[in-house]
Amino acid sequence: MSEAFLSLEGVRKEFSGVVAVEDFNLEVAPGEFVSFLGPSGCGKTTTLRMVAGFEPPTSGTIRLAGEDVTYAKPNERNIGMVFQSYALFPNMTVSENIGFGLRIRKEDGTARESRVAELLDLIHMPDKGKAYPRELSGGQQQRVALARALAIRPQLLLLDEPLSALDAKIRDELRAEIRRIQRQLNITTVYVTHDQEEALALSDRIVVMSRGRMEQVGVPFEIYNNPTTGFVASFVGQLNRLPATVIDRDEGRLRVGSGEVRTTSGIESEPGTEVSLMMRPEELTLDAEADNVLQGTVEAVTFLGSIVRVQVAVDGGRLTADLFNERLLVLPVAGDSTQISFPAHACWVMV
């Protein structure tokens, strides 16, 4: 990784004594797309607002392109920002909105016009320049907001839940659009979201946050497959959790209910310790042959189109299996007795 373009060191924020963010350390490389992911109140937006300059940190340092901007005013940072509520100026046309930052920078008329036209092309809305924000759909408004933020050629692009106010379909479209534009301009981007799917799909790296702290930082694949804390494991994706007791640490054997399972991921606890055995629903099957097979009863079957979600009560708990739909699939019925199975490499232990 090349030298950090944006760095946060020991950043902490208190609101009248209540800690909102603490011990936040992050280095973002030039052109990188980093997401802050977490539930509401986890401090992700506060952190973003400190980067933007809307909130001064209580302590810590924020550096942008090598410069200490911890206490710089927001209008002196040259950072583009996109808001959940679009925040387009209602009194201005689309072109005037996009050109606003350039106007502030006293760029002359023709340069401004050509830049605005360039951005209207970038967001695929070349003929909407004269429209007012209220005449546009939510998705279009957010595109304009993105263009407005990019018009000033910011060093950094910040997006605060930009898709949360949009319909599912538009959301997917705009998500792809954001990624395309970010790649095309190679602009360093920080993206705040509570939607794990958004974070997984968009990001080069994800920072998972909870209660003001960073839980885990990593590429999406790593965050999903190797969550390091219970919070990350349960917040990102669906997760099964079964109470288990360690039998043999070296062989990876555990007792679950009256049965026994094996895991290839390491166990650190002493034999006899009560632990949790974790596994993703998509790694469970109803096959009879696998490393680990548990007997159970089908409790519920939910047909979700491409996926069939089956809940099975087993001795010691309940497991959810996500099966891929196929035409030949025989749907189980609630009340059926069944076996539920998973390979040894698919499960891991958490204390």
Residue whose CB is less far from another protein, 165 or 301: 165
Which of 101, 162, 212, 332 touches another protein by CB under 8 A? 101
Q: Is 79 in the site for another protein (CB under 8 A)?
A: yes
Binding piece for another protein, criterion CB under 8 A, among 98-106, 220-228, 297-305, 316-324: 98-106
Which of 9, 14, 29, 52 touches another protein by CB under 8 A? 52
Q: Is 219 in the site for another protein (CB under 8 A)?
A: no
Closest by Cα among 337, 304, 299, 338 to 323: 304
Instruction: Name the phi and psi angles at 92, rounded to 5.
Output: -120, 150
Q: Is 162 in the site for another protein (CB under 8 A)?
A: no
Which residues face 243 on adjacent strands? 276
Supply the minimum distance, in Å, between the C-beta of residue 74 and another protein.
4
Burial 109-126 (b: 16+ CB within 10 A, else e): eeebeebbeebbebbebe
Q: Is 91 in the site for another protein (CB under 8 A)?
A: yes
Q: Is 104 in the site for another protein (CB under 8 A)?
A: yes
Place of tokens 């097979």: 293
Number of residues that bind another protein (CB under 8 A): 30
Closest by Cα among 286, 300, 297, 283 to 343: 283
Range 262-301, binding another protein (CB under 8 A) = none
Q: Is 124 in the site for another protein (CB under 8 A)?
A: no
Whether the CA torsion 274, 275, 276, 277 is positive or negative: it is: negative
Instruction: Name the phi and psi angles at 308, rounded to 5.
Output: -115, 120
Supply the minimum distance, in Å, between the C-beta of residue 53 and another protein.
8
Cβ neighbors of 278 (< 8 A, separation 6 or more) are 233, 239, 240, 241, 347, 348, 349, 350
Which residues here bind another protein, judged by CB under 8 A? 52-54, 73-81, 83, 85-91, 100-101, 104-105, 134, 145, 148-149, 152, 158
